[in-house]
Structure 1
Amino acid sequence: MIIFLSILGVIGVSASGPIMAATAAPVLAIAFWRNLLGAALMGGPAVLSKRAEFAALTGADYRRLAVAAVALALHFVCFITALKLTSVAAATALVCLQVAWIALFNAVLGTQASRAVVAGLGVAFIGVVVITGFDLSLSRDALLGDVLALAGGALAGVYQMAGASARRTMSTGTYTTLCYGACAVILLALCALTGQPIVGFTPAAWAGIFTVTLLAQIMGHSVFNHLLAVMSPLVVSMIILLEIPGAAILAAVFLGEKLPAGTYGGLVLILVGLAVVIRGQQRLKGSRRPLGDQTAAVSPPVLGEQ
């Protein structure tokens, strides 16, 4: 079941970049509607079946939800804007550096980074430099898109870590309903502040919004939020790495996106570097198993818990 859900999640998030890049609607509006619709779709069943769970939420639960919702809202702002400025493949690869950000955040929170992790981050960083170097030769907009995608990856790392902490006391339905709902409220406020409309789009734009909600929000984000209850944020991020080739293939097939040959080299370096990071983290976790318990490894700290 975990493998099946992982495959569904990868397909969902892989479709996110190409669909949003092709959707002719304001950045904040796309993010607002996919979160509002996602909260409504997940919230109906949750409200009916999880009333006691909603009532039992504590202040600590709401603080974790707030961190996750703010990080998710800002992640969407950065990522969708990046998709409008640079290639889908480059934006997706840089956003997927969230696994490197998680390793960095874990180090800040007290989890020692191994040499393999440091080496992997170095390789991934070289891949980033390769991609941004080619984008700089294309346009300043593409370079700005790369920077926003990097920021989006850091925010995605915060979102996953806060979500992993929240999911320890909340079911998938409860967490996604409240997180997506709060994220939608934040994005609605941003739309009002920036004057971006949330209605009046073409039928094709609405089709894109509904499609990205069903595929990326429900089949992608919600599936991975469910897996956070049984997997660490680092392992979930490892699975999400498959979004990089998935999004690149979909963008090439449906959007006719062609990249400089060197960009593909950068994508490969990022994948190799992140694979080394994950391998190093897994070895570190294995070496920290408590005495008398040789079956379960210690999970890295998550936001809100030290």
Structure 2
Amino acid sequence: MDEKAPEAGRGVDLTLLGVAIAGVSFSAPLIAATAAPALAIAFWRNAMAVGVLSPVALWRHRGELRRMGRRALGLSALAGLVLAAHFGMWLPSLNMTSVATSTALCTTTPIWTTLILRLRGHRPPRLVWGGTALAVVGVLILTGIDLSTDSRALVGDALALGAGLAAAVYMLLGSEVRRTATTTAYTFVCYTTTAVALLCACLVSGSALAGYDGETWLKIAALTVAAQLLGHSLLNRVVRGLGPSTTSTAILLETPGAALIAGLWLGQTPPAAAYPALLVILGGLALVILSDRRR
């Protein structure tokens, strides 16, 4: 069952959720426009975020970090590893299967979230199941899905599906830790772990970590601010009040959001399905939020 927020704070959380979705929607367009290996981009967005958070976390929150306890620290580090796994599975899948299929399978996150909550003994209401299904249908309206029998494509499909599961676990772990830890303390430990794990992945895969031009570094910095600090950090901020079901369902808005941003910024004409897909996803999200308010 999702954690309820006081009515006054709920409006703030929903506003911050909107900002977070706008932030993560810049992720795909910025990655597409950045001339650097995708895995290296994932490393740098986390490493730069740690650099920004470090002065605040190590100065203002150093007492909290000391008091977090083994369980909270362990879950925060585990969330970081799971986030690294999400990047490590989803990014390669884009080169192994179609982008549409990869996106569709990766956005199964709210389905995994609801299933895991059910396995943990929670009983999500029918509106949650219905809203989640409707939101996923909205993504499929935009991306479509074209499953292939080619062995390489099947591996890519499996990686994308695994990335969706990893995102759900990451969201649920964050929801658990945020019951007792501040957003700053949690994200500092989480992003640090993610950065270390992705650094190892880059070294093993031979992904170039340097030698980029100034424009590339500027785009990586923009990605860090938009998708990591405003996107992921605000998602971790609001998951405590809105709960994992609402938060993970809202993330589906990233897909049409990215399409619209790519159209405005990169000159890529948004597909005609982007607007109806956006409405369908919003309808599904509204059902999930309504279900939470009724409890």
Which of residues 186, 198, 216 is equivalent to 1:175? 186
Deviations 1:88-115 (A, max 9, x none): x775565443222211110111112444
> Match for residue 103 of structure 1?
114
> Match for residue 174 of structure 2?
163
Aligned residues: 282
Is the contact between residue 78 and residue 148 of structure 1 (CA under 8 Å) also seen in structure 2? yes
Match for 1:151: what amino acid?
Answer: G
Once structures 1 and 2 are overlaid, which stretch shifts more, 273-282 or 186-195? 273-282
> Match for residue 49 of structure 1?
60
Determine the C-alpha separation between the residues in 2 that align with 1:229 and 1:38. 21
3-state SS of paired residue (1:230): helix
Alignment of 1:196-207 (within 5 A): 196-207=207-218
Once structures 1 and 2 are overlaid, which stretch shifts more, 184-193 or 258-267? 258-267
Alignment of 1:241-256 (within 5 A): 241-256=252-267
Alignment of 1:134-153 (within 5 A): 135=146, 148-153=159-164
Q: CA deviation at 1:248?
A: 1.4
Structure 2 vs 1, CA of residues 255 and 58 (structure 1 numbering), >3 Å: closer, same or farther?
same
Once structures 1 and 2 are overlaid, which stretch shifts more, 54-63 or 254-263? 254-263
Once structures 1 and 2 are overlaid, which stretch shifts more, 224-233 or 34-43? 224-233
Match for 1:49: what amino acid?
Answer: R
Once structures 1 and 2 are overlaid, which stretch shifts more, 218-227 or 120-129? 120-129
Structure 2 vs 1, CA of residues 3 and 132 (structure 1 numbering), >3 Å: closer, same or farther?
closer
Structure 2 vs 1, CA of residues 269 and 79 (structure 1 numbering), >3 Å: closer, same or farther?
farther
Determine the C-alpha separation between the residues in 1 that align with 2:117 and 2:191. 25
Deviations 1:66-108 (A, max 9, x none): 2211111111223334556655x77556544322221111011
Residues 1:75 and 2:86 are matched in the alignment: yes
TM-score, normalized by length of structure 2?
Answer: 0.80
Q: CA deviation at 1:51?
A: 1.6
3-state SS of paired residue (1:228): helix
Determine the C-alpha separation between the residues in 1 that align with 2:152 and 2:137. 21
Residues 1:25 and 2:39 are matched in the alignment: no
Q: CA deviation at 1:252?
A: 2.2
> Match for residue 245 of structure 2?
234
Structure 2 vs 1, CA of residues 279 and 141 (structure 1 numbering), >3 Å: closer, same or farther?
farther
Deviations 1:89-142 (A, max 9, x none): 7755654432222111101111124444444555566667667755459x9988
Is the contact between residue 127 and residue 287 of structure 2 (CA under 8 Å) also seen in structure 1? yes
Determine the C-alpha separation between the residues in 2 that align with 1:158 and 1:56. 24
Q: CA deviation at 1:30?
A: 0.6
% identical equivalent positions? 39
Q: CA deviation at 1:266?
A: 6.8
Q: CA deviation at 1:29?
A: 0.5
Deviations 1:173-230 (A, max 9, x none): 1111111011100111111221212111233322221110011111111112122233
Give the alignment's Cα RMSD to 1 decimal: 3.4
User: For structure 2, which runs of at least 5 residues remain unmatched after alignment?
Assistant: 1-11
Alignment of 1:187-202 (within 5 A): 187-202=198-213
Which of residues 5, 13, 16 is equivalent to 2:24? 13
Once structures 1 and 2 are overlaid, which stretch shifts more, 180-189 or 143-152? 143-152
> Match for residue 209 of structure 1?
220
Match for 1:253: what amino acid?
Answer: L
Structure 2 vs 1, CA of residues 95 and 270 (structure 1 numbering), >3 Å: closer, same or farther?
farther
3-state SS of paired residue (2:68): coil
Is the contact between residue 93 and residue 156 of structure 2 (CA under 8 Å) also seen in structure 1? yes
